[in-house]
A and B are shown apart, each in its own frame.
Chain A
Amino acid sequence: MSDYILETQGLGKAFGGFMAVKDVALKVRPNTVHALIGPNGAGKTTVFNLLTKFMPPTSGHIYFKGKEITQMTPVQVARLGLVRSFQISAVFSGLTVFENLRVALARPLGLSFKFWRSLDSLKSTDARANELIEAVGLTEFRDTRAADLAYGRKRALELATTLALDPELVLLDEPMAGLGQEDIAGISKLIQALKADRTVIMVEHNLSVVADLSDTITVLQRGEILAEGDYASVSSDKRVIEAYLGGDYE
């Protein structure tokens, strides 16, 4: 077994003739926060899509906990414990906060094809749902429809739903995008707490968040790894500074 919970070799993705991701070798240690940063269009979201199998890679291999997952489906990797969030907040907008969590918690119960059962059959998930709702500070919005939540609260709900699956590896795509200072502090604390028993890979533009939270940073540029290391080494790397000041960072 390797020391890494997630490892990729020569990962690549071409859209037509355009290589969005090229020869990416990621190595993620367990119980760390690993940040993926880089200018817009660098290929960060595409890497997430490849890791969670939402897109098939053009080349390369992906290993999760030492096991090759390159050929698996999105559902299979999700069930293995590799769960993602989305760049655009992904909640079930017609469902209440509580129902959003219940959907996430219900799957392992194996009741979700039983169209003749009442929702009371999912009662055993109530306590955990309420706990998660409280953990992200949404208790007073428990019965509010997700569509009616403010953006920051949708983000919090999405995080709670992701955690409901008890994933070993959490992929967060720009968790702070569109959030105010206050929400950022709250979500930061949550992510920090995750490290105790999970691993986090996070795409994030907010560099102070990255500096605070991450143990390792991988910088992507035009689909390739430009630099890797902790914040101090990456932020003093000449090529990184150039990439960020070079104008294609917004």
Chain B
Amino acid sequence: MNQANLSTPVANPRRGSLQRTLLTVALILLACLAPTVLYPTFLMKGLCFALFAMAFNLLIGYVGLLSFGHAAFFGAAAYIVGHALKVWGLPVELALVIATLSSAFLGTIVGWLAIRRQGIYFAMITLALSQVVYFVALQAPQTGGEDGLQAIPRGYLFGLFDLSDSMVLYYVVLAIFLACFFMMQRIVSSPFGEVLRAIRDNEPRAVSLGYQVDHYKLLAFTLSAGLSGLAGALKAIVFQIASLSDVHWHASGEVVLMTLLGGIGTAMGPVVGAFTYAALQNYLAPFGSWVFIIQGVVFVLCVLVFRDGIVGLLGRIRNRIGFN
């Protein structure tokens, strides 16, 4: 459906979709082979970030809502999955479901309070409410305070697959990620997704067509929060830790950055942005606190040089080559 964003009509839509299918298959193969070259942990971090950014992109890219509190959903689910595995000893698939649903539920509450507001007010309310979650995480006895929840057991998926093996875990994370990726593609190209884009483009007009826009925004917010939660829960299982940094507003800022970096409102943007960001973090680690400054500069450059993100830039390059 992003074809609609090209101002030139696509001559043969069937050829376009064949190309897209081939590209998708190639990317999935690449993802399957990637751990033979790159560290599985790095790849899993990228996938968790990508899922998080994808969930965030549903709001910013398709509803036009800038949430500055998404760390609350990411981090809360990390704690919940950690608690469910470590204290309750639940099976990992059940722990993931509980964590995801809890974040979705938290998202419904936060969303309900925030969606009546627009623009910067919306961002501020989501930030304020996520700070409440941060405060709870800091104070509650179950979260381990400054230490967080450490040594979270990974367990066995369906009692069969030993997740303490990083390669096994990688393929599980990849499978979940892909399932979410395709689900997201379906959401944005569903009747619901079309209404979301309409609301993003012109909210009063959507109202005048009889759409109860708040209900659509709330459902989008809930879906986004739930998927952010799944991302946070997976990250907690991968790193076997849930900590304050997951609920900190820095994490809310990071997901904004990743999504903008990759390109908002596109399918691949959040994925590209998340991996670029994860790579930057890794390779810049030796620079210590300079990381923040370098990230800041990269970010400013991105916004100035290619506003539609890396994916937008690639698209323009492809178009130019295609036309010559």
Task: Say whether A111 contacts B191, CB under 8 Å.
Answer: yes
Q: Which of B4, B7, B191, B198 contacts A117 (CB 8 A)?
A: B191
| Bound CA span A99–B191, Å | 10
Task: Say whether A106 contacts B207, CB under 8 Å.
Answer: no
A18 sits at the interface (CB 8 A): no
Task: Say whether A119 contacts B210, CB under 8 Å.
Answer: no
Task: Say whether B202 contacts A79, CB under 8 Å.
Answer: no
With A94-B5, A104-B209, A148-B7 in contact, do A118 and B201 touch (Cβ < 8 Å)?
A: no
Task: Say whether A93 contacts B201, CB under 8 Å.
Answer: yes
Q: Kindly list chain A residues whose C-beta atoms are within 8 Å of the C-beta of B207.
A: 54, 74-75, 78
A143-173 vs B, Cβ < 8 Å mask (1 yes, 0 no): 1110010000000000001000100000000
Q: Which of B4, B189, B198, B205 contacts A86 (CB 8 A)?
A: B205
Q: Which of A96-125 contact B (CB under 8 A)?
A: 96, 99-100, 102-104, 106-107, 109, 111-119, 121-122
> How many residues of B are in contact with the other chain, CB < 8 A?
33
With A106-B191, A165-B210 in contact, do A115 and B204 touch (Cβ < 8 Å)?
A: no
Give the size category of A's interface with B: 35 or more
Q: Which of A67-81 contact B (CB under 8 A)?
A: 74-75, 78-79
B195 sits at the interface (CB 8 A): yes
What's the least CB distance linking A170 to chain B, in Å? 11
Nearest B residue to A82 by beta-carbon distance?
Answer: B208
CB < 8 Å A-B pair total: 115
Task: Say whether A103 contacts B209, CB under 8 Å.
Answer: yes
Q: Which of B1, B5, B186, B192 contacts A112 (CB 8 A)?
A: B192
Please report whether the interface of chain B is mostly helix, strand, loop or mixed according to DSSP. helix
Q: Which of A107, A111, A115, A118 contacts B209 (CB 8 A)?
A: A107
Residue ranges of B at the interface with A (Cβ–Cβ < 8 Å): 1, 4-5, 7, 9, 183, 186-187, 189-195, 197-198, 200-202, 204-212, 215-216, 219, 223
Q: Which of B5, B190, B192, B202 contacts A91 (CB 8 A)?
A: B202
What's the least CB distance linking B15 to chain A, in Å? 16
| Bound CA span A94–B3, Å | 11
| Bound CA span A40–B193, Å | 39
Nearest A residue to B223 by beta-carbon distance?
Answer: A115
Residue ranges of A at the interface with B (Cβ–Cβ < 8 Å): 52, 54, 74-75, 78-79, 83-86, 90-96, 99-100, 102-104, 106-107, 109, 111-119, 121-122, 143-145, 148, 161, 165
What's the least CB distance linking A174 to chain B, in Å? 15
Task: Say whether B4 contacts A96, CB under 8 Å.
Answer: yes
| Bound CA span A100–B198, Å | 8
Task: Say whether A86 contacts B204, CB under 8 Å.
Answer: yes
| Bound CA span A121–B207, Å | 23
Q: Kindly list chain B residues whose C-beta atoms are within 8 Å of the C-beta of A85.
A: 208
Nearest B residue to A90 by beta-carbon distance?
Answer: B205
| Bound CA span A111–B191, Å | 7
What's the least CB distance linking A132 to chain B, in Å? 13
Q: Kindly list chain B residues whose C-beta atoms are within 8 Å of the C-beta of A144.
A: 7, 9
With A99-B194, A148-B7 in contact, do A94 and B200 touch (Cβ < 8 Å)?
A: yes
| Bound CA span A94–B313, Å | 19
